[in-house]
Amino acid sequence: MIGGKHLLLLAEFMLLARCQEKLTVSMWPKLEEFFPGDLFYLSCDNIASSSRVQWYLNNTVVKQSPTSETWKIAVASPKHSGFYHCENNGQRSDNLFINVQEYAPIASLTIKTGHPVMKTGHSVMLQLDNEDGLQGWKCGVYRRALNQMKKIKFHLKITTSVVFQTTRINAPETIFWCYDSTKKMRSNQIIIRASDKEVSLEMYPLPPVVGEPLTLRCLVWGTDQISNTVFYKDNAVIIGAVSSTHTITNVTELTEGQYKCDVTYTHKAQAAGPPYHEVSDTQEVFVQVHPIRAIISEIYGLSCSCPLCGRDSSYHWYHRNDDQLWASMGFNSNYFTPKASGSYACRAVWTNGRSFLSNSYAYQLSGSDELTIFIIILLVILTIVLVTGLAVWYKYHKKKSNTTGPVYEEVALRSRDENKYETLQKAHGARGEAEYDTLFPVTSGREKKEGDYQQLKKEEMKDGTYYTLGMEGAAGGGMI
């Protein structure tokens, strides 16, 4: 009986201690810098009761916030900057300051292979690009449903791009982002969702921007034999057609909502019987206003400008490649003369950030431009041939006039960038699961052993002539 009273008193003491704990606002995933389009959760911790939670931004009640302890900011924008606090049962938390930038992060994270909505148990290939290099970079992985935060660790030397495979996607929502050793430089986020259904609704993985088009696509795993597709927004029919895609030509804030698709399809191996019919999971669409972005125009070629960017900005140029991704061209000037027709874009870049990519510009060379470029290329080729011929003639006559000295053969030193991945180990002190996700490399190679020398045979040394042995370096594996 006395023991029961002690247990009751202990429970009451623990409840009282919990009630006296101060409310705090925490954020998941934990980010050092915030950029347009980021997804994060705010949590009001140590609440004393299940009564409603009130959220405040800059001491003003946020009307669109939930009354629960968790608040999801699906698409961050500069309007979300400020001091956040929560109140519950007469208690108030301390402030949490968040500052969302108006520009894009310095690095790009994109989906190389896969889709924003994957079938449960599958994985995707992600590509990380940073034109200033990726040495010391890591990636974060956050799974809200599993209350799980992990890291992906690389072993990279001098490289500006890396492709890696994620672990199997089993959580309903997984957030990926990458950052350098200081956590001040980072990439955008990529969000991969999982679905058990054969049909999924997907769109471009980054949030749509006001004034730009948005394409919705209804995807069926294992077949493209789709006979009819109906798109819904907030359970109301948008359009029904044979096409499995629907394009919203001009995105506005009214575009936001919950979308799904209803599809009728068959498989090639299906010989008889009625077609299949299934509805996708619902996907939320959140719209962001225009962030800082560059502007491209045609003035004696192409010109790039960014009135809202810093004066110390440089300008980088991009073109669309075969897989419709923007690839860097390596030009760092605000003026650029294309040598071929095609789609081009540019952006301003500075120390810790960059503008969003400019509008796409379809450039068409005129007949006179093509002739001029042809003449320039022809002159360059003739110049190279002439210089090469003179060099060969000079070396031949020099060798003929000097035959008494020793002759040395230069052997080129070949090396390739080392780009290896490490199997991630369990963090010290972790309980139950590893701190790191296992990283699956795209390619792997065997390292060659250095420090081995080949002994010259005596009979191979003739007429005082020696050959210098070259050392071959070890090698390993390794944008918007």
pLDDT band (50, 70, 90) for residue 206: confident
CATH architecture of 295-363: Sandwich (2.60)
User: Both tokens of residue 328?
Assistant: 């860097």
pLDDT in tens, 257-290: 999 999 999 988 776 888 999 999 999 998 888 7
The lowest-confidence range among 13-22, 83-92, 471-480 is: 471-480
pLDDT in tens, 325-378: 778 887 788 888 888 888 899 999 988 789 988 888 888 776 555 555 567 777
Would you say residue 128 has pLDDT above 90? yes
How far, in Å, CA of 233 to CA of 251, rounded? 14
How far, in Å, CA of 111 to CA of 92, rounded? 41
Q: What is the average pLDDT value for the chain, to the nearest integer?
A: 79
The residues facing 142 across adjacent strands are: 149, 175
Please compute the mean of the pLDDT values over residues 427-451 and round it to a whole number.
Answer: 54
Please state which CATH number belongs to domain 110-196.
2.60.40.10
Nearest to 293 by CA among 241, 347, 242: 347
CA distances to 161, 166, 287, 328, 475 from 135, rounded to whole Å, are 10, 20, 34, 19, 17
Total-model pTM: 0.72
Cβ-count burial 225-240 (b if 16+ within 10 Å, e if not) = ebeebbbbbeeeeeee
The alpha-carbon radius of gyration of the chain (Å, integer) is 30
Find out whether 71 and 55 touch, Cβ atoms under 8 Å.
yes
**Please, which residues have CB within 8 angstroms of residue 292's CB and are 6 or more apart in sequence?**
102, 103, 104, 306, 308, 309, 355, 356
How far, in Å, CA of 200 to CA of 218, rounded? 6
User: Both tokens of residue 65?
Assistant: 């916030």
Q: Helix or strand or coil: residue 226?
A: strand
How far, in Å, CA of 236 to CA of 243, rounded? 18
Handedness of CA 52, 55, 61, 66 (dihedral sign): negative
The residues facing 259 across adjacent strands are: 233, 283
User: Both tokens of residue 252?
Assistant: 């506005």
Please compute the mean of the pLDDT values over residues 180-188 and round it to a whole number.
Answer: 91
Please compute the mean of the pLDDT values over residues 23-47 and round it to a whole number.
Answer: 93
Parts of the chain belonging to CATH 2.60.40.10:
2-98, 110-196, 207-285
User: Both tokens of residue 156?
Assistant: 């990279």
Q: Hey, what amino acid is at 306?
A: C
The four Cα atoms 350, 355, 357, 360 give a dihedral, to 10 degrees, of -100
Burial (Cβ within 10 Å: 0-12, 13-18, ≥19) of residue 268: exposed
CATH architecture of 2-98: Sandwich (2.60)
How far, in Å, CA of 320 to CA of 341, rounded? 11
| pLDDT value of position 20 | 57
Higher pLDDT, 184 or 470: 184
| pLDDT value of position 360 | 83
The topology (CATH level 3) of 207-285 is Immunoglobulin-like (2.60.40)
Cβ-count burial 442-468 (b if 16+ within 10 Å, e if not) = beeeeeeeeeeeeeeeeeeeeeeeeee
Could you tell me if residue 342 is left (phi over 0), alpha (psi between -120 and 50 degrees) or otherwise beta? left
Find out whether 437 and 171 touch, Cβ atoms under 8 Å.
no
